[in-house]
């Protein structure tokens, strides 16, 4: 049985004092869950979030990293730096990074390899645009993104990769994919992994759904056969709302 993993992606939100208050509230609300809870915070909040999350079941992730360990890359943060302060997860290839910051399948692949090199667990985002979906290309796109992202990884690394299927048209729009559509897309991703890494690996990989996940739709989405939790943007900014998503099974 795969576990459910619910990760909040704060994006460019929350000052340190707000982040500390959030973790304090969330910790009380999710202390009894058996689901995995991750908060992916902006770099400037990470240290505070890590301190506040000590002794709780909240794990901490970053939202991006560079693929080099160090060097002349002004403004960048490496996997080695994240690991050094105690970060455990890192989102890689979010559609906003692909769209606004020239992230490509190639840089995504390099970053995933660098994350594993430093003992970080990647949460890798894939997903199609509305145009691609309307043209009937959605499955091709997500299969290709998955294949290129994982290219060259060992079976063990693939097993330890979390994939987030996030249809771009559903992000921040209030439009959620139907649970059936999301589940089918996630099955496509799982099939692609099976094709390249075998049945055992495909059966173990955690694949989340992301795109306007709220407490109202979490249960329906997460109770399908292949959706193993969610990557949650807007609804992760409020501890009450986010805790209801984490506790969808209570």
Active-site position among 36, 96, 103, 166: 166
Active-site position among 94, 96, 128, 157: 94
The nearest distance, CB 11 to ligand PGA, in angstroms, is 7
The nearest distance, CB 233 to ligand PGA, in angstroms, is 2
Question: By CB under 6 A, is residue 152 in contact with ligand PGA?
Answer: no
Nearest residue to ligand PGA, scored by beta-carbon proximity: 233
- What is the contact mask toward ligand PGA in residues 211 to 250, using x (rule: CB under 6 A)? xxx-----------------xxxxx---------------
Q: Identify which of residues 79 and 234 has a Cβ nearer to ligand PGA in the complex.
A: 234
The 3-class SS string of the chain reads CCCCEEEEECCCCCCHHHHHHHHHHHHHHHCCCCCEEEEECCHHHHHHHHHHHCCCCEEEEECCCECCCCCCCCCCCEHHHHHHHCCCEEEECCHHHHHHCCCCHHHHHHHHHHHHHCCCEEEEEECCCHHHHHCCCHHHHHHHHHHHHHCCCCHHHHHCCEEEECCHHHCCCCCCCCHHHHHHHHHHHHHHHHHHHCHHHHHHCEEEEECCCCHHHHHHHHCCCCCCEEEECHHHCCHHHHHHHHCCCC
- What is the contact mask toward ligand PGA in residues 5 to 44, using x (rule: CB under 6 A)? ----x-----------------------------------
Active site residue 166: yes
- What is the contact mask toward ligand PGA in residues 177 to 216, using x (rule: CB under 6 A)? ---------------------------------xxxx---
Residues that bind ligand PGA (CB under 6 A): 9, 166, 171-172, 210-213, 231-235
């Amino acid at each position: 049985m795969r576990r459910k993993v619910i990760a909040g992606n704060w994006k460019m939100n929350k000052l340190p004092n707000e982040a500390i208050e959030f973790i304090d509230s969330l910790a009380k609300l999710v202390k009894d869950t058996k689901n995995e809870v991750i908060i992916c915070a902006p770099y400037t909040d990470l240290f505070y979030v890590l301190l506040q999350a000590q002794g709780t079941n909240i794990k901490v992730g970053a939202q991006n990293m560079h693929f080099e360990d160090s060097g002349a890359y002004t403004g960048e943060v490496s996997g080695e730096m994240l690991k050094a302060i105690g970060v455990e997860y890192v989102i890689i290839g979010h559609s906003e990074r692909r769209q606004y910051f020239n992230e490509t399948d190639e840089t995504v692949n390099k970053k995933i390899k660098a994350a594993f090199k430093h003992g970080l667990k990647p949460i890798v985002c894939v997903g199609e645009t509305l145009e691609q979906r309307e043209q009937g290309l959605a499955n091709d796109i997500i299969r290709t993104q998955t294949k290129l992202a994982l290219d060259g990884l060992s079976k063990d690394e693939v097993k330890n990769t979390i994939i987030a299927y996030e249809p771009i048209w559903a992000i921040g729009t209030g439009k959620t994919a139907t649970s059936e559509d999301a589940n089918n897309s996630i099955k496509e991703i799982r099939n692609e992994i099976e094709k390249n890494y075998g049945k055992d690996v495909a059966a173990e990989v955690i694949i989340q759904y992301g795109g306007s996940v709220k407490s109202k739709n979490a249960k329906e989405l997460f109770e399908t056969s292949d959706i193993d939790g969610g990557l949650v943007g807007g609804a992760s900014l409020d501890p009450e709302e986010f805790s209801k998503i984490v506790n969808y099974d209570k």
